[in-house]
Structure 1
Amino acid sequence: MNIRLPRTTFRTIALGLLVLAATFALPASAQAQDPDRNTDIVRQAFDAWAAGTGGPYDLLADDAVWTITGNSLAAKTYESREAFLSEVIRPFNARMSTGLKPTIRNLYSDGDTVIVFFDASGTARDGKPYANTYAWFLELRDGRIAKAFAFFDSIAFDEFWTRVSPAP
């Protein structure tokens, strides 16, 4: 059986196959990520944080780069997940008697970047409250945080950091 297609139909099918092949030929990192998916991933991590069942640090890629901006005692760039957790997050949590609970004010997304504007508060080991307002710019790659820039009130952080000793 010999089927003859009109030339325009043949061209349309051929062009569609080329576009489809080119899309699948791109590596996953070159294909655009869904900003809504990234926003949902971050929102779910914050919901888990608020519930005490997880949190955004679970999303950190092993090679994530986290920068705390400004002039706080913790301000610098941490070149890996482990460096950030061991130098900031674990010592921070060891100063708390009840962990931080976040309340998102707003979430924004732009391409692979999700911006979280939130408040967080908890109780320090000395019984005094700790509260701060944060803005995190999180660049996601394959559902993981690859790069982050964190902004917060460094005066409130430094006062807490120097006032409260970490639990042993």
Structure 2
Amino acid sequence: MLPTLKTRTRDIYNAALGVAATTVALVAIQPEARASFDTGIRNKAAVQQSFDAWRGGTGSPYDLLADDARWTIEGYSVASRTYPTKEAFMREVIRPFNARMQAPLKPTVRSLYADGDTVVVFFDARGTARDGQPYANTYAWFLDMRNGQIIRASAFFDAIEFNDLWARVAPAPAN
């Protein structure tokens, strides 16, 4: 049976109301959504630049850490726990890790995503340990940022590979 003119008019009217309501909703949230989008672009660019610097040997993502950043290594590695400050994380994990390396890690980013103040980076990193053996691991970092700095991070990686390096290679003596 064919719809009546009254039925078609009502359907068109309801569709128009739906479009109007959607348009009003989009206009109402646009400034907030735009700000989050812009923040995401800035944060993604900052993290990308830090990884480029790391790969080039001129910096690292750790340069983006706020002094009071909380870094959590998830899982069951020998370093898995939450480090309450940048300095604690650098002192207890990054410096001892680097002291076990003959050649620094070189990251290769597989994927980098940002949504407002959250950035997710999925990457591989390879280097040579002091014993001449290669170190290769895959990482996923979930970074919470504020004003261009990392304030909180959760890191995931292959704990078996990390633990092997940590146990097998003694750190070079500090200068």
TM over 0.5: yes
The aligned amino acid for 1:57 is Y
Does 1:127 find its partner at 2:132? yes
State the match for 1:38 in structure 2.
43
1:86 aligns with one of 77, 91, 102: 91
State the match for 2:23 in structure 1.
none
Bigger Cα displacement from structure 2, 104-113 vs 93-102: 104-113
The Cα of 1:110 is off from its aligned counterpart by: 1.9
Deviations 1:102-138 (A, max 9, x none): 0000001122010000000000000000000000001
The aligned amino acid for 2:164 is E
State the match for 2:26 in structure 1.
none
Which structure features the higher share of helix residues?
2
State the match for 1:140 in structure 2.
145
Deviations 1:127-150 (A, max 9, x none): 000000000001111000000000
Does 1:107 find its partner at 2:112? yes
State the match for 2:161 in structure 1.
156
State the match for 1:5 in structure 2.
none
State the match for 1:76 in structure 2.
81
C-alpha distance in 2 between matches for 1:54 and 1:84: 17
Larger Rg: 2
User: Normalized against structure 2, the TM-score is what?
Assistant: 0.77
Deviations 1:61-100 (A, max 9, x none): 0000000000000000000000000000000000001000
Count of matched residue pairs = 139
C-alpha distance in 2 between matches for 1:94 and 1:72: 18
State the match for 1:11 in structure 2.
none
Unaligned runs of 5+ in 1: 1-22, 24-30
Does 1:59 find its partner at 2:78? no
The Cα of 1:34 is off from its aligned counterpart by: 1.0
Q: Once the two structures are aligned, what percentage of the paired residues are identical?
A: 65
C-alpha distance in 2 between matches for 1:92 and 1:98: 11
User: Normalized against structure 1, the TM-score is what?
Assistant: 0.81
C-alpha distance in 2 between matches for 1:79 and 1:67: 9
Please provide the CA RMSD for this pair: 1.2
C-alpha distance in 1 between matches for 2:148 and 2:39: 10
